[in-house]
Amino acid sequence: MKHLFILALFLVVFSPLRAQVGVRAETAGSDLNNKRIQSLESDTIRTYHLPEVLITATRLERNAFEVGRSATVVSLSAITSSLYQNVGEVLAEQQGVYLVGVGQNPGMIQSIFMRGASSNQTAIMIDDVRVTDPSGVNSALDLSELSFAGLERIEIVRGSHSTLYGSSAIGGVVNLITQKDRSPGLHVEAEMRGGVFGKGTSTFSQYGSMNYTSPVGLYIAADFRNSVVKGLDATVDSVTDLGSYKNRDRDGFDQRTLWSKVGYKNRDTDLYFSWNNTRQRTDLDKTAYIDDDNYTLEFHRNLLSYGASTRITDAISLRLIGGYSDMNRLAVDDSSVVDAFGTSDHTYSRGEWHGTTLTNEVYGAFQFPAVQAVAGVNWYNERMSSKSYFYTRGFYGEFELGSDLDSLDLYTTTVSAFGHVDLNGSLLRENLGGLSLALGARLNSHSTFGSHMTYEVSPSLRIYEGARVYASYSTGFNAPSLYQLFAPERDFTSGITRGNSDLRPEQSKSFEVGFKQATGSIDFSLSFFHTVVENSIEYVYLWNGNVGIDTLGNDWLRNDFRGDAYLNVGRQTTSGVEFGVSSQIGRRFWLSGNLSLVSGRLSYRPSQLRGEHARGNHVQVYGNGAFLNTAVETSGLVRRPSTANICVTYKPTESLLLKLDLRYVGPRTDVYYDSKRGPYGALGTVPVTEYTLVDISQRIMLSDSFFIHARVENVFDTKYSEINGFTTRGRGFYLGVRYAFSSPI
């Protein structure tokens, strides 16, 4: 922890040493593309900034400084200039965010934890359309599928935002905004990247994009990206016996993304239709520490989205947005060789998962001098199905097992009505123009659990030019997944199903206070948050309620097990402090960084157990093995460390830019299966040590159109772990060449 305080002290001491003239963040919009060279310089330098236009926080174009929420926007030029490999690496450097998987072998699952929220409690959007994995156990999105295709910027709003975005926005919202029109003419960009990140590894990717915009506002854009990785052995080899047979392999990853968009945009009208297609193939291993030489996962997603908006008057506009997502996963684990004679384990498994989501939303926007508001309705539907097959042949013969959920027609529908208004103090008195009050509410009607209301109250005050204090109290919710609601597996003794259609949504209450300053030479923010999540959905074991807990499993002639299920149990409490700064030091140096301190606890009490699904049986939480006959509390949340990031930029000449990035991740706990916890075992926790990584990158401008990027990742080849049992990348070397061409009309 001492490293964290040293980094914080560094930021506090050096950030005020700023020049008289700084670099202002640019307006996020079509002008971002019209000024490529200028924005590349300023955005590359400022990795933490409050750009002038932000949409995600209010659904309206607002000056970010005027919004009483903690928010960040990352432009595409800042992303491309640093040779990031994927969206997850960008998010991992933002305050309040910890992302598991970015340091592991490419293609490994990437899970986001924002402000201590669980991995399925942050809403991931593409152009305001929520993207999930409805076929997954908890609907959490694997962020490794996200690419930079068509991307213009990433908007991040921290803290509960369910009032505007519905389910999953307990930790916050990440919105990937894709480009639209550019300056009239043809714009073409191409890039090639390559690198290594360990012995025997390689990565090679190609990228090409085109945008043609006519003088009247019609545009067509397309983007193609392809990446091929020959990677590490993704699991840690824990077998020390030199005589043991090992058939360990290196795990590769291939990804291809196609994106296109057509539309028309002028002052009063904005129409577009977009298509995003992602295909990827990943080599998998069985689990932590256990390699598998013949296990693959193929993933395919089509995302169709559209939008239409029209300005009715100068103050009133109407907007319609929607999207349809269709995703498929196919996992095949063929027989593995288990000895030097080529003997296989005679085991084969195959799993297929299919999920769809459909979103339609219409809302009106009202923008008057002292009042800005949005009001609308949303319709959201998700469906899932799956098939699985398992075969093995052993000493006692053959065994087959299969399941098919297609006939169950598993789906849920949510209909919502929402409203959000920002009131300026000048409504009461002219000299109260620095005071603002945001109010919002959302009524949700879910096809399974019924109605649920969320709301928000966010006052803020401009205390002097360029400085604002704010507070926010908001509620949020996270709907149970289709699997948690309807999983059909049934215990043959009790008849209890794993799925529980009586589940209620997880409900949060969040409080935040903060201060932010935006001047010509420095941006600064400080916030404190406290979030409580009730009705946490947990996977549990059920045991015969007529038998004492201390005797469960002791009589092998008696079956005490009564099945497994999902139940609403317990409470999660998270508190934290976030600090961010970006400033210019002298004429050629810039400093930016952020610090996030997070702490939390889980508590369970018998009185908090909801529903009749358990039927009076003993409830054992699989997450820690505790029986809910007495109150239980655990301090510290798994995979939620404190983090810090520092970026120092030096620009010795107009054509050369150098960057030093430092990332610190504090100590935390991870989970492992402990057979000693209860009759069937459960998850225990194990400490994971802190680590600090240093990266160096450079950009050379050979001309206005030709750039060369280079990056050394993990300079000191630090050995570290994100998840116990899985390897992380060592020192990496990457080189990229980028060309941009424009032919104006």
Domain coverage including residue 557? 2-744
Instruction: Give me the mean pLDDT over the 261-272 stretch.
Output: 96
Q: For residue range 77-134, what is the model confidence (pLDDT) as tens digits? A: 788 777 888 999 999 999 999 999 999 999 999 999 999 999 999 999 999 999 999 9
pLDDT > 80? residue 517: yes
Contact 648, 591 (CB under 8 A): yes
Question: Distance between CA atoms of 152 and 94, rounded to whole angstroms?
Answer: 17
Query: What 8-state DSSP symbol labels residue 54?
Result: B
**Mean pLDDT, to the nearest integer, of 319-346?**
90
Give pLDDT tens digits for 681-691.
999 999 999 99
pTM: 0.92
Integer Cα distance of 330 and 340 in angstroms:
30
Which residues, 6+ apart, have CB-to-CB distance to 30 below 8 Å?
A: 179, 180, 181, 182, 183, 265
C-beta of residue 695 within 8 angstroms of C-beta of residue 661: yes
Kindly indicate the confidence band of residue 228, based on its pLDDT and cuts at 50, 70 and 90: very high
Q: What local confidence, expressed as pLDDT, does residue 466 receive?
A: 85
| DSSP 3-state of 276 | strand
Domain harbouring 22, CATH code: 2.40.170.20
pLDDT at 21 over 50: no
- The three-state DSSP-derived secondary structure of 688-741 is ECCEEEEEEEEEEECCCCEEEEEEEECCCCCCCCCCCCECCCCCEEEEEEEEEE
Distances (CA, A) of 736 to 204, 206, 211: 10, 10, 22
Residue 249 pLDDT > 50, yes or no? yes
Q: What is the pLDDT of residue 105?
A: 93
Q: Could you tell me the pLDDT band of residue 25, with boundaries at 50, 70 and 90? A: very low
Mean pLDDT of 243-250: 79
Which range has the top average pLDDT, 51-65, 72-86, 454-468?
A: 454-468
With a cut of 60, say whether residue 568 has pLDDT above it: yes
pLDDT in the model for residue 5: 52
- Joined together, the tokens standing for residue 247 give 């058939």
Q: How many helices (H) and strands (E) does the chain have?
A: 7, 36
* Amino acid letter, residue 283: D
Q: Quick check: 312 pLDDT over 50?
A: yes
- Mean pLDDT over 145-169 rounds to 93
Count: domains in the chain: 1
Q: Is 700 exposed, middle or buried (0-12, 13-18, 19+ CB in 10 A)?
A: middle
- pLDDT recorded at residue 3: 58
Torsion of CA 600, 504, 445, 530, to 10 degrees: -10
SS3 of residue 411 by DSSP: strand
- The mean of the pLDDT values for the chain is 89
CA-to-CA distance for 156 and 173, rounded, in angstroms?
6
Specify which residues 713 forms β-bridges with.
Answer: 732
CA-based max dimension of the chain: 87
Bigger pLDDT: 620 vs 37: 620
Give the containing element (helix H, strand E) for 95: none
Q: What is the pLDDT of residues 593-629, one digit of tens each?
A: 999 999 999 998 887 776 689 999 999 999 999 999 8
3-class DSSP assignment, residue 562? strand
What pLDDT does residue 37 have?
A: 32
What's the token pair of residue 331?
A: 């996992």
Amino acid at 417: A
Lowest-confidence region among 68-72, 182-186, 560-564 = 68-72
Rounded Cα distance between 294 and 289, Å, is 16
